[in-house]
Structure 1
Amino acid sequence: MTEDRQATFGADGSLDTETPPEAREGTTDRGDEKGAHETNGGYNRYDVSSLLQKAVRRSDERVAAWAAWELARSGYAWNLWDRLNLYVVEDLRAGQEVALLVERYEELATERWEPDSWKGRLCAIHAALACARARSSREAANADECFRLVAERRAESPEGEEPPVDFPVADLEPGGEFDVIFDQHTGEGSRRGRGTRFFKTRGARVGPDEDGTESRRWQRLAMALSDVEYTEAELDHALAPVAGDDPWTEPDDDELRE
């Protein structure tokens, strides 16, 4: 089957319409019958799949591109895309836009074109390169494993005793470190009469970086025009970013209403 690929020209300027030799379906590049889980190049697809993830994790673009190409051309595109999608949640720093790129490349390769076609292979290479160039991090996987083990140790602690290790929030109780969470959006906050004033001056604060100039201008004007009469101290506090080293401490009501 002739692939839909761009034409090339030989050294003499003539149009080259021949495609590079490739494995026939069911055979390796050498023409031997492929074994179970064998790629066209004669590799074990589990090994190549593992190589792909380790390569993007270590930002080795050349190896990542080859591994993606080998899986795609060998009929294991499903394995390739599964591995790349796993990478963006297991080995990628949160917030990297490459996660959306991988999804788009997969959509093109599998829904618009054939996964092992020339265009499908280009998508595979693009996705692998995008992943290899992104900022790798094991933060999500490390957090999951850490929280899981803490939960086990916490559950093993005798009733009434402090566990040897605990979650970063320990117990969520009104009056504690995270008292600000008990606003009008929780049952406890509603019972305490914490309405709009409490939420606007405490629960809606951001940080540690200050919100944008326009956002702060809109917020101050909206609060000034609302039915709630805020003091200048409350307005200033609502717009001030939380402290980076202490994001949960909030002043008493009396401090803001003076």
Structure 2
Amino acid sequence: MSDDTQTTLGGGEAAIDEGDDEDEPRTNDFGDELGEHETRGGYSRYTVSSLLQKAVRRSDEECAAWAAWELTRSGYAWNLWDRLALYVVEDLRAGDEVVLLVHRYERLANDHWSPEEWEGRLCAIHAALAAARATSTREATYANDYFERVAQERAEARRAGREPADDFPVGDLEPGGEFDVIFDQHTYEGAKMDRNGRYFTVHGARVGPEGESDLGERWRRRSLDLDDREYTDAERDHALAPVDPKNRWTEPDPSGDDEERE
């Protein structure tokens, strides 16, 4: 094994970074002194950063990996991690675990190693590949833009004394409306309607559309057996029935649910 390599975890060899002499000017691959915001390959870091984001959106793994490598080896690892943190919330599907992976790789690159070391570059490449392989969507970005525009339209419509051209998906959120079930003991309106713990248990705590797991349902039924309140079989079944995916907010008439039972 040569003096400038070391054995890696997998048994191979990797070059050891000697580090740049701080007294010497940094140069690009062609021996020219690096310009402001220039990468070692002779590109603008802004251009490479833009490429990285589009590569993540378009699931181009190779371009994403190269962009991460180029930014990191050029001293712009901070820029890479800053942008990846944005991309995972702006360009990827909600709920994807890639956000945790990217965060973990960043911690490894900065806390366990150094971004200037070869291990730091590997972390950057791993993170970029993970992001590029995740499901791409800008749904959160579009949701934010749409809701902002609707808020502006509602305000303008009120000032003009007209009906808005569009509205929030929840309307006015009033008792008796489509979302009546939300008015339980945890809201002022629900408390005024005496919708106590029984109402919440039977109606407000339902999940769906998959419903509870077998284990969750068994625990819930046993818990209701030990509850101070008594529940009918119909109430128990409804409390654990999955929400209808085609009619998520409709509940049976709750009248009488809150009456005390012996």
Question: What SS does the corresponding residue of 1:157 show, helix, strand or coil?
Answer: helix
AA of the residue aligned to 2:96: Q
What's the CA shift for 1:5? 5.6
Question: 2:129 aligns to what?
Answer: 129
Structure 2 equivalent of residue 36 of structure 1: 36
Q: Displacement, 1:21?
A: 11
**Letter of the aligned partner of 1:193 in structure 2?**
D
Equivalent residues in 2 for 1:83-232, closer than 5 Å: 83-158=83-158, 161-232=162-233
Deviations 1:94-124 (A, max 9, x none): 1100100100100111122111210100000
Give CA-to-partner distance per residue, 1:131-185, whole Å, 9 cap, x none.
Answer: 1111111110010011111111111103553211000001011111111111111
**Is the 1:66–1:125 contact (alpha carbons within 8 Å) kept by the matching residues of 2?**
yes
Tell me, in whole angstroms, the C-alpha distance in 1 between the residues paired with 2:122 and 2:146: 38
Rounded Cα–Cα distance in structure 2 between residues aligned with 1:4 and 1:53: 34
In the alignment, is the contact (CA less than 8 A) between 1:233 and 1:256 conserved in 2? no
> Which consecutive unaligned segments of at least 5 residues does structure 1 have?
9-14
Unmatched tracts of structure 2, length 5 or more: none
Structure-2 change in CA distance of 1:229 and 1:21 (3 Å): closer
Letter in 1 for 2:235: E
SS at match of 1:51: helix
- Partner in structure 1 of residue 58 of structure 2: 58
Q: In 2, distance between residues paired with 1:251 and 1:4?
A: 74
Partner Cα distance (1:16, 1:54) in 2: 33
3-state secondary structure, aligned to 2:149: helix
1-structure distance, mates of 2:130, 2:6: 23
SS at match of 1:72: helix
Helix, strand or coil: the match of 2:6?
coil
**Structure 1 partner of 2:243:** 242
Q: State whether residues 150 and 166 of structure 1, in contact with CA within 8 Å, keep that contact through their aligned partners in structure 2.
A: yes
Q: Residues 6 and 15 of structure 2 are in contact (CA less than 8 Å); yes or no, is this contact kept in structure 1?
A: no
- Relative to structure 1, the CA distance from residue 232 to residue 69 in structure 2 (aligned partners, 3 Å threshold; closer, same or farther) is same
User: Is the 8 Å Cα contact of residues 15 and 118 (structure 2) preserved in structure 1?
Assistant: no
Question: TM-score when scaled to structure 2?
Answer: 0.88
CA distance in 2, matches of 1:118, 1:253: 64
Alpha carbons 2:198, 2:257 under 8 Å: kept: no
1:232 Cα deviation (Å)?
1.1
Check whether the contact 2:4–2:15 (CA below 8 A) recurs between aligned residues.
no
Contact 1:22 1:29 in 2 (8 A): no
Q: Decide which moves more: 111-120 or 234-243.
A: 111-120
Deviates more, 1:224-233 or 1:35-44: 224-233
How far apart, CA to CA, are the structure 2 residues paired with 1:99 and 1:18?
30
CA RMSD of aligned residues (A): 2.5
**How much has 1:56 moved relative to structure 2?**
1.1
- Of residues 49-58 and 223-232 in structure 1, the stretch that sits farther from structure 2 once superposed is 223-232
Shift of 1:34: 0.8
Q: Is the 8 A contact 1:231 1:256 kept in 2?
A: no
Percent of aligned positions that are identical: 62
Number of aligned positions between the proteins: 249
Q: Is the 8 A contact 1:207 1:241 kept in 2?
A: yes
> What's the offset of the Cα at 1:224?
2.3
